[in-house]
Structure 1
């Protein structure tokens, strides 16, 4: 099982993000079902580890997190754009939840996550050969209206399974924990 822990934004937020997904050559835009905030990537685990994680999550209490969309950004690899995303703020509550979930995962025997955490919602991915140029990306970013500044709440933490497919990943909720 290839797993990750995520927050799913409310439908209105996803609609706003979907409306931005056009006019950038080479973009493999995310679908509504793919829009989420990854809190902790877990990776490939067996059923025993997945069950241990669900039991550990069931024992925890999580507070609701309020956030708002906060501009666009991108990740690059070897000087080529790899992902385009929408940022979130405030970052502190999401970063604290990420750290807490990382400790929880390590506590059940999983390896700690080594990469820096940046709270975001991935909008598009790019193949190496289809990555936009700096000029194309700047033109797209400049053409975007401001994202809605309304605050919204994340009210459930979701353990997702990622199924790799020809057209990208398909995410299946495996377990959910309410956030109070």
Structure 2
């Protein structure tokens, strides 16, 4: 059974800027910049029928224009038991509508409803117990000012995750371009 999720790819130039925040925290397993993404709908291990129905639903989704996505800060999930460091994403109406559409498509395909509130983000590191709250707070403080990073989301993707402890590698199984959303060669894709 494939382990799948839908999301937005992070362009290489934005991934490179995010990679500057890597390192210096014991207990952190840093995500490879090529695996940075914004998860829209995590599905986990699903059977081939649900995966095929999901793919068909995403391919038939309403046409939407490419839209801007802005990353605006660093934070951590987990409070007193930090489990991840991430770059936060501004929850724009376009992004929220896309995520809600992916949720509807996933449910129609037979996936169980997502119980967690959508918090758009790019995971930079997964943390183990060695990364205590004080060390995480110090790392976030020492990171300095986070420059707002904006890019154009040109397509959604269906990703598969290889069997691992999380954090990739991820493979784009299918892509669903937005209107005017073909990738430009300078954004890391061949023309």
For 1:86 and 1:102, locate their aligned partners in 2 and report how far apart those are by CA, in whole Å: 22
Q: Do 1:7 and 1:39's aligned partners in 2 also have CA atoms closer than 8 Å?
A: yes
User: Does 1:76 find its partner at 2:78?
Assistant: yes
TM-score, L = length of structure 2: 0.85
User: Does 1:66 find its partner at 2:68?
Assistant: yes
Pairs within 5 Å for 1:1-12: 1-12=2-13
1:152 Cα deviation after fit: 1.1
Pairs within 5 Å for 1:36-55: 36-55=37-56
TM-score, L = length of structure 1: 0.90
1:148 Cα deviation after fit: 2.8
1:105 Cα deviation after fit: 1.1
Q: Secondary structure at the match of 2:84?
A: strand
Q: Secondary structure at the match of 1:123?
A: strand
Q: Secondary structure at the match of 2:115?
A: coil
Q: Secondary structure at the match of 1:93?
A: helix
1:169 Cα deviation after fit: 3.1
RMSD between aligned residues: 1.7
Q: Do 1:2 and 1:162's aligned partners in 2 also have CA atoms closer than 8 Å?
A: yes
Q: What runs of 5+ residues in structure 1 fail to find an aligned partner?
A: none
Q: Do 2:66 and 2:152's aligned partners in 1 also have CA atoms closer than 8 Å?
A: yes
Richer in strand (by share): 1
Aligned to 2:132: 133
Q: Do 2:35 and 2:167's aligned partners in 1 also have CA atoms closer than 8 Å?
A: no
1:166 Cα deviation after fit: 6.2
Q: Do 2:73 and 2:147's aligned partners in 1 also have CA atoms closer than 8 Å?
A: no
Aligned to 2:164: 165
For 1:167 and 1:141, locate their aligned partners in 2 and report how far apart those are by CA, in whole Å: 22
Aligned to 1:100: 101
Q: Secondary structure at the match of 2:163?
A: strand
1:90 Cα deviation after fit: 4.2
Aligned to 1:156: 155
Aligned to 1:176: 175
1:83 Cα deviation after fit: 0.7
Q: Secondary structure at the match of 1:84?
A: strand
Per mean C-alpha deviation after superposition, the further-off stretch among 118-127 and 82-91 is 82-91
Q: Do 1:91 and 1:119's aligned partners in 2 also have CA atoms closer than 8 Å?
A: no
Q: Secondary structure at the match of 2:162?
A: strand
1:40-95 deviation per Cα after TM superposition (whole angstroms, max 9, x unaligned): 00111111111111111111123322122111111117x31001100011443322
Q: Do 2:160 and 2:171's aligned partners in 1 also have CA atoms closer than 8 Å?
A: yes
